[in-house]
Amino acid sequence: MQPDFRQSVEGLGFDLRAARAERRRHPSLEHVRLGARVAEEVVDSTEGRPGAIVVGSSLVEVAVDDLGAIPDACLGGADPAQVLGVQKCQICQGAGGLCRRLGPRPPALHRSSQEIVAAADSLCYSAKNAGKFLKPRKERVHGLLGIMKQLRIVYRPLGVIGIITPWNGPFILGMNPTVQALMAGNTVLLKGSEVTPFSTQLVESIFRDAGLPQNVLQVIMGDGETGACITEAGGEKVSFTGSVRPRRIIAPSCGRQLIPCTLELGGKDAMIVCEDADIDRAAAGAIVGSCMNTGHYCCGTERIYVVEKVYDEFLAKVIEGTRKLRQGADLGFEEDVGAVFWDRQMSIIEDHVEDARTRGATIHVGGRRNPGLKGLYYEPTVMSNVDHDMKIMQEETFGPILCVQKVRDVEEAIRLANDSPYGLNGNVWTRDKNKGFDIACRIDTGAVSVNDMAMSYGCLLYTSPSPRDRTRFRMPSSS
């Protein structure tokens, strides 16, 4: 039996506390007028161009019928296991609905693996394991107190979670934190990028089709101003994925309110190629790591440090492989590297490449827009003779660029890998896995792969108290 849900009023992207207070004073209140920024996107990618983006100020009348809908388990009124069972059923239905929408299209499935397959995996993983993660547990009390005392840890939902996501993986980056928050018994305000609003809206529709109670998940359309409103809305936590600049608004806001926040702020991932690496495999990993999703990937490889003994061989194989990459919408699902998402990112890519060129970098492949294609196509690019005085080795480029730097040994590679304000991911290539493990432990970043790239496994559940696991590295099989 589905548990009852406590009704509460939340303003969409504005002042949640004021809206709650207003609802208590006026129980019949049905609408709140909110200032918002509204964005619409017309999608037209047939020639590798993003659609027209129309952003304007308007005053929007938004229904606020019970945004909260927080389970009574949050107040101790219902059995948490029962609530979790309902959420699990709905999330499993959501995964099924996602697969049905995809249909029997193997090429599309392959090309959509970053968004579709990852989302289905996230849904199923959370539904299968959340009960174990959230189960109350006993902890041993140390010393003599252990004879007389008992300690139990119980997880409770936080409440309303604000989730703000970017444009480069709009569906999976909206789905993943949302399913974790919902599975932990919270409600969600989800705002995707203003330039990919419909991908985020798909997250809401999938859960609605699965039977999630109305307004437990609400998607808000808007730009950065709307995101700023969410951080000040009086919720219980904010999760943000995006660039560094918004952090300077979100982190202080959450600090003033004494609420937690989760910030994933991009990366400048380093790749280290040891002298005993499988060079064919490492070169292939470098190309995929740098060019997947047109380089629009937070865990993409942006700096490659190669020990001088194998540098020439590695560079030659990377150049050869990059020249084989295909571009063009006419190729359909056979295309290897697509168009740059929008002109703002193209400007950053061109600026970084030109800065490196003027400072002495050697461009072996690419280094320009594709002259044979219409739209925002940038050729997959291989550069050498790069150094840390160049923007392209210090700032997030987010494009299909391979920057290869020769180093004397692994020690120099580790030093350069750690010479960065970023710390999201990284990868090490060696035939000796124990050696790879030791190097991974010395790289100052959140996760490191050995003989693999852009992989990070973990589950963050929006509860309080929360486990503080930090995955440092992943070691795949040798296959």
3-state secondary structure the chain: CCCCEECCCCCCCCCHHHHHHHHHHCCCCCEEEEEEEEEEECCCCCCCCCCCEEEEEEEEEEECCCCCCEEHHHHCCCCHHHHHHHHHHHHHHHHHHHHHHHCCCHHHHHHCHHHHHHHHHHHHHHHHHHHHHHCCEEECCCCCHHHHCCEEECCEECCEEEEECCCCCCCHHHHHHHHHHHHCCCEEEEECCCCCHHHHHHHHHHHHHCCCCCCCEEECCCCHHHHHHHHCCCCCEEEEECCCCCHHHHHHHHHHHCCCEEEECCCCEEEEECCCCCHHHHHHHHHHHHHHHHHCCCCCEEEEEEEHHHHHHHHHHHHHHHHCCCCCHHHHHHCCCCCCCCHHHHHHHHHHHHHHHHCCCEEEECCCECCCCCCCCECCEEEECCCCCCHHHCCCCCCCEEEEEEECCHHHHHHHHCCCCCCCCEEEECCCHHHHHHHHHHCCCCCCEECCCCCCCCCCCCEECCCCCCCCCECCCCC
Backbone φ and ψ of 98, nearest 5°: -65, -45
Cα 352–Cα 357–Cα 363 angle in degrees, nearest 5: 100
Q: Say how far apart CA 21 and CA 10 lie, in whole Å.
A: 10
Q: pLDDT value at position 388?
A: 98
Q: pLDDT value at position 13?
A: 38
Q: pLDDT value at position 313?
A: 98
pLDDT at 460 over 70: no
pLDDT, the chain, mean: 77
Q: pLDDT value at position 55?
A: 27
Q: Using pLDDT thresholds of 50, 70 and 90, give the confidence band for residue 92.
A: low
**How many percent of the chain have pLDDT more than 70?**
71
Residue where the block lists tokens 């939902």: 157
pLDDT at 464 over 90: no
Q: pLDDT value at position 225?
A: 86
Mean pLDDT computed over 220-227: 88
CB burial class (10 A; 0-12, 13-18, 19+) of residue 40?
middle
Mean pLDDT computed over 351-356: 98
pLDDT at 179 over 80: yes
Mean pLDDT computed over 423-450: 95
pLDDT in tens, 35-62: 222 222 222 222 333 322 222 222 222 2
Q: pLDDT value at position 432?
A: 97
Q: Using pLDDT thresholds of 50, 70 and 90, give the confidence band for residue 334.
A: confident
Q: Using pLDDT thresholds of 50, 70 and 90, give the confidence band for residue 229.
A: confident
Higher pLDDT, 8 or 423: 423
Which residues does the annotation mark as catalytic?
A: 264, 298
Q: Say how far apart CA 365 and CA 344 lie, in whole Å.
A: 23
Spatial contact of 222 and 230, defined as CB atoms under 8 Å apart: no
Q: What is the pTM of this model?
A: 0.77
Higher pLDDT, 214 or 95: 214
pLDDT at 336 over 50: yes
pLDDT at 191 over 60: yes
pLDDT at 125 over 70: yes
The two three-digit tokens of residue 40, written as one number? 């619409």
For residue 434, give every residue at least 6 positions away whose Cβ sits within 8 Å of its Cβ, in sequence order, or none: none
Cα 116–Cα 119–Cα 122 angle in degrees, nearest 5: 150
Q: pLDDT value at position 348?
A: 97
Q: Which of 136-145, 424-433, 460-469 has the lowest mean pLDDT?
A: 460-469
Mean pLDDT computed over 350-379: 98
Q: Using pLDDT thresholds of 50, 70 and 90, give the confidence band for residue 248.
A: confident
Cross-strand bridge partners of residue 307: 407
Q: Which of 120-124, 137-141, 414-418 has the lowest mean pLDDT?
A: 120-124
Q: Which of 119-123, 334-338, 398-402 has the lowest mean pLDDT?
A: 119-123
Q: pLDDT value at position 9?
A: 26
Q: Using pLDDT thresholds of 50, 70 and 90, give the confidence band for residue 24.
A: very low
Mean pLDDT computed over 357-373: 98
Spatial contact of 13 and 34, defined as CB atoms under 8 Å apart: yes
Higher pLDDT, 15 or 406: 406
pLDDT at 339 over 60: yes
Q: pLDDT value at position 119?
A: 82
Q: Which of 15-19, 235-239, 405-409 has the lowest mean pLDDT?
A: 15-19
Q: Which residues of 256-267 are buried (b: 16+ CB within 10 A; e: fewer)?
A: ebebbbbbbbbb
For residue 150, give every residue at least 6 positions away whose Cβ sits within 8 Å of its Cβ, in sequence order, or none: 138, 141
pLDDT in tens, 389-428: 999 999 999 999 999 999 999 999 999 999 999 989 999 9
Mean pLDDT computed over 465-474: 31
**How many percent of the chain have pLDDT more than 90?**
50
Spatial contact of 246 and 216, defined as CB atoms under 8 Å apart: no
Q: Using pLDDT thresholds of 50, 70 and 90, give the confidence band for residue 234.
A: confident
Q: pLDDT value at position 455?
A: 63
Q: pLDDT value at position 479?
A: 28
pLDDT at 239 over 50: yes
CA-CA-CA-CA dihedral for 174, 459, 225, 8, to nearest 10 = 90
Mean pLDDT computed over 259-272: 94
Spatial contact of 375 and 384, defined as CB atoms under 8 Å apart: no
